[in-house]
Chains A and B, each alone.
Chain A
Amino acid sequence: MAKTILAVDDSASIRRMVQFTLKGAGYEVIEAADGQEGLERAQAMQVNLVLTDQNMPNMDGLTLIRSLRAMDSYKAVPILVLTTESSAEMKQAGRTAGATGWLVKPFAPKGLVDVVKKVIG
């Protein structure tokens, strides 16, 4: 059975590119347009990996990560941040919030698939 990835990003084109890349590698991908919707989708359905943007309306990525890490069912689920933010300070903030990794946009499809395979197989 295909592993499910929740892609959270307010940009439809990024969600489309993530969907295209990860579906092509055999994963199931569900989408959310901001952190709040991402949290609701994660609560409604257990996923194997969360891939989230940082700068989004309603709820940003770091807040989403903290909210997920506060849930028993998401304490051990890998969470990757995919963002334009590339500063050491933001990466450290992501790590402190509980992120598993930090990917700076734009992503290369092979690089994204390699990282996802590494963290969830």
Chain B
Amino acid sequence: MVNAEQTDLNIAQPVLARFLEIHDTQASNARSELDRLRSLIDDAAERLMASFNEIGEISARQVMPSPMQDMEQAVGEAVSALQFQDMANQLVGHAVRRIELLERIAASLTRLPDLSEDDLANEIAGSVCTRPNGPVEQACMSGGSVDLF
């Protein structure tokens, strides 16, 4: 937790304190929300997977007449859609890491009296996320591209 009272700044102390208070609250809330989102995703995926497996086992045991081939196609689409958990978890994980970076920068601000400008600039530069877009750029669950080398 960042504490503005630990600093000895001459400028805008109340403003900095207010900034750090808002930052801490928002970062903490965002982290809790992302944790809840991850729990919901995991729970939903577990339940969907159980139903999906059951449907898969039933369809594998039966000879499929023509109308049942619609079910095969539906199962195929479900296989694509059920990969959402992996992609959503990667996005959540990346968002959490961004929050952690912001927390590190805010913590650096509280050490301003002990840090030179260069040290602060280096700490901030070292905290900047080198992947602006994160590992997941997909925005829908349709099938991705295939490249054979």
Contacts and interface: CB of A to CB of B under 8 A. Distances in A.
Interface of A: 9, 11, 13-14, 16-17, 20-21, 24, 55, 84-86, 91, 94-95, 99-111, 115, 118-119
B145 to A, nearest CB: 5
Given A14-B86, A111-B143, A105 B148 contact: no
Nearest to B145: A104
Contacts of A110: 76
Interface of B: 45, 49, 53, 56, 60, 76, 79-87, 89-90, 135-138, 141-149
30 contacts: A11-B86, A13-B45, A14-B83, A16-B53, A20-B53, A20-B79, A24-B60, A84-B86, A84-B87, A84-B137, A84-B138, A91-B147, A100-B149, A102-B146, A103-B144, A103-B147, A105-B86, A106-B83, A106-B87, A106-B142, A106-B144, A107-B79, A107-B83, A107-B143, A107-B144, A108-B80, A109-B76, A109-B79, A109-B80, A115-B146
B86 A103 contact: no
Given A17-B79, A109-B76, 6 more contacts: A13-B83, A20-B53, A55-B90, A84-B136, A106-B83, A107-B143
A91 B149 CA distance: 9
B146 A103 contact: yes
A110 to B, nearest CB: 6
A109 B60 CA distance: 15
Contacts of B90: 55, 84
Give the 9 A-B residue pairs with the shortest CB-CB distance, closest first.
Answer: A104-B144, A108-B143, A11-B86, A106-B83, A101-B148, A102-B147, A84-B136, A13-B85, A109-B76
A102 B149 CA distance: 8
A24 B85 CA distance: 22
B87 to A, nearest CB: 6
A95 to B, nearest CB: 5
Contact of A106 (B60, B137, B143): B143
Contact of B146 (A85, A94, A101): A101
Contacts of A101: 146-149
Contacts of A115: 146, 148
A99 B149 contact: yes
Nearest to A86: B137
Nearest to B41: A13
Nearest to B138: A84
A98 B79 CA distance: 28
Contacts of B141: 106
Nearest to A100: B149
